[in-house]
Structure 1
Amino acid sequence: MINSDDFAKRLQKVIDYYSESASSFSEKIGVQRSSISHILSGRNKPSLDFVLKVLSFYPEVELYWLLNGKGEFPFQPDQILPIPEKKQESASLPKIDTANKSIDKIVIFYKDGTFEDFVKN
């Protein structure tokens, strides 16, 4: 079970580390300002949704540290295993050999039917 007071101290440490106010922190993770206030004061315990929002916006925060105080903060990026890049949705894009060619114009077509073109000056 999460100790609300200790969790509040760790959450405050995260907020201070990123030089955020409670308002700006709540805005970034997408929760109401009162939610932050209630958790910091110990009135409410954090929901799983709240914890996941913190972790998704601040990847240096380690889950086990945030919940139990075990581990490190900030989590060192060199300790994180690389996440495989998401493959492109469209595998039908051709490979372009630009070895003795120069680009004169690029046209980008969007799914909504609009497009933009960029011409070399």
Structure 2
Amino acid sequence: MKNRLMEFLKTHNLTSTKLADEIGVQRSSISHILSGRNKPSYDFIYKFLQYHKDINPKWLILGEGSMYTKEKQTSMSFEQQQEKSTLREAATKNEQTSEYRKSDSRELKSKSDESSYIAKIVIFYSDNHFEEYTPKDKK
């Protein structure tokens, strides 16, 4: 794994110090791996793969395959799932609001077909003042 880590650093034009800071491990842990003194810990591998999601875990750990994953990531982090769920809920609410407005406008059209008319329009402003408009022409 030492050689693959060196290949990664060279390919990405990174220093071991910069990589340690990126993934949140001690700088000495990377230098010990690169010198051959220590083997990478589970924590190091996990943090590395969490930060560099495009790196193929089999390549990093076993030396199999290419450096980069070819397939898009199929599993999502908790944060990604929450964001997707929030977006889905917002889209649903937007659709419901849109349907409500459509039915509301249909209702208004049907009422306006009767002999009703606009008597007054009131606009309220954020500074608590308002304006009233009364149409001069009534049907």
Q: Which residue of 2 aligns with 1:51?
A: 45
**Larger helix share, 1 or 2:** 2
Q: How many residues align?
A: 90
TM-score scaled by structure 1? 0.63
Decide whether aligned partners of structure 1 residues 89 and 49 sit closer, same or farther in structure 2, where only a CA change above 3 A counts.
farther
How far did 1:74 drift?
2.5
Pick from 5, 13, 19: which aligns with 2:7?
A: 13
**Cα displacement (A) at 1:90:** 9.6
Correspondence 1:62 to 2:72? no
Deviations 1:1-54 (A, max 9, x none): xxxxxx000011111221111111100000011000000011001111110111
The question of 1:88 aligning with 2:86 is answered yes
For residue 23 of structure 1, what is the aligned residue in structure 2? 17
Q: Which runs of 5+ in 2 are unaligned?
A: 99-139
TM-score by length of 2: 0.56
Partner of 1:33: 27
The residue type paired with residue 58 of structure 2 is Y
Tell me the percent identity: 33
Q: Point out where structure 1 has 5 or more consecutive residues left out of the alignment.
A: 1-6, 98-121
Q: Secondary structure at the residue paired with 2:93?
A: coil
